[in-house]
A = this chain, B = another copy of it.
Amino acid sequence: MSKSENQSCLNLPRAVPVSTHLDDQIAHAIDTKTKPPGSLGRIEALALQIARVQKTLSPVMNTCSLTIFAADHGIANAGVSAFPQEVSGQMVLNFLAGGAAANVFANTQNIEVRVVDAGLAGEPLSHENLISRRIAAGTASFLDGPAMTGEQLSSCLDLGSELGRTAEGDAVAFGEMGIANTSSAALLAHKLTGQPLAQFVGRGTGVDDEGLVRKLAVLEKASARTAGQLNAGQVMAEYGGFEINMMAGAMLGAASTGRIVLVDGTIATAAAMAATHLLPAVREYLVFSHASGDAGHQAMIAALEVRPLLDLDLRLGEGTGALLAWPLLKCAAAMLCDMASFESAGVSGKA
């Protein structure tokens, strides 16, 4: 057991073992399928990643689940969002009733949806299918002090890890709901990368020009509150949300079970950034599903130097982009498992 695993109560993913032999075998298998080499483009790269993570030439990619983490943010009262805070809880009830976009995209593909209360404002919602992992009734406003305590951050990571490990499916997707959480995501990205805050601040669910100026001013003020370099844990406690930090834990937990994690948009990418700062090895398990229409997300994926699979101008969250990318994983794995080779099919190679 490595030093870092000893020091943590989390189940941490190990780095995908470097096996030049297996990598060569996977690449050879992909190249000898009945198609010109490379002609399936990014599906081939995806198949390689899946096979490496599963350590096999015959990866299984039949099932996926979505876990939606919901929480509220103290910063919501500072006028950074186009929607009132009560929408977080209302949308949780909508998820539980099956009426949200995430439900519809999941149902269409037989994907199970779990909904977690990571810390919604107000009285706890009562619903038999709601998974309660409430840290508190919303974070504190990070304008005035840390969004959460170190203990609350630890709880987020521990509870998230367990939810990530127990999530069903050959791959797992995570979504979120939390009014004002693009503000939290922008500050996480800014503090983790050291790049200018403004580039990570987008319109979220749709603030207008005036609202965007106000949002940026509020977030600049919040950023100025902490001077100097913070480590990842400090950034997450100062500016994170319960749902974001719990999702980061869930990504680590899911990866520790050797599974691909489908990363959604702005919020999930902030969680993935945080998780990657905590443990760089998690990166190999992450599939970035879509480039959001939100300017902040565009800056995040540029900072991460990733090119997500889809580019559909989505800016909803909930895991919707991850769900839309799921069929690509299924097809990539099936390509490797089920396609004939030139030899087996009796097809001639290049002239």
Known: A34-B91, A101-B35. A84 touches B312 (CB 8 A): no
Distance of A113 from chain B, by nearest CB (Å): 13
Best-surrounded residue of A83, A101, A345, A349 (most CB of chain B within 10 A) = A101
Fill in one digit per residue for A321-332: 1 if any B CB lies within 8 Å of its CB, else 0: 001101110110
Q: Could you say which residues of chain B place their CB within 8 Å of the CB of A107?
A: 334, 338
Q: Which of A39-47, A50-58, A130-138 contacts B (4 or more CB under 8 A)?
A: A39-47
A331 and B324 within 8 A (CB) = yes
Q: Could you say which residues of chain B place their CB within 8 Å of the CB of A101?
A: 33-35, 40, 335, 339
Taking a contact as CB atoms closer than 8 A, the residue among B39, B87, B104, B346 that contacts A331 in the complex is B104
Known: A83-B350, A345-B97. A104 touches B335 (CB 8 A): yes
Known: A109-B327, A327-B327, A334-B107. A93 touches B41 (CB 8 A): no
Number of copies of chain A assembled together: 2
Q: Does A37 contact B (CB under 8 A)?
A: yes
Q: Report the Cα distance A83→B335, complex, angstroms.
A: 21
Q: Does A108 contact B (CB under 8 A)?
A: yes
A328 and B339 within 8 A (CB) = no
Q: Does A125 contact B (CB under 8 A)?
A: no
Q: Does A311 contact B (CB under 8 A)?
A: yes
- A40-B316, A104-B335, A109-B331 known; 14 other A-B pairs, CB under 8 Å? A36-B205, A36-B315, A39-B293, A41-B312, A42-B313, A42-B314, A43-B312, A43-B324, A84-B351, A90-B347, A94-B340, A99-B338, A104-B334, A108-B334
Binding site for B on A (CB under 8 A): 33-43, 81-84, 86-87, 90-91, 93-94, 97, 99-101, 103-105, 107-109, 205-206, 293, 309-316, 320, 323-324, 326-328, 330-331, 334-335, 338-340, 344-351
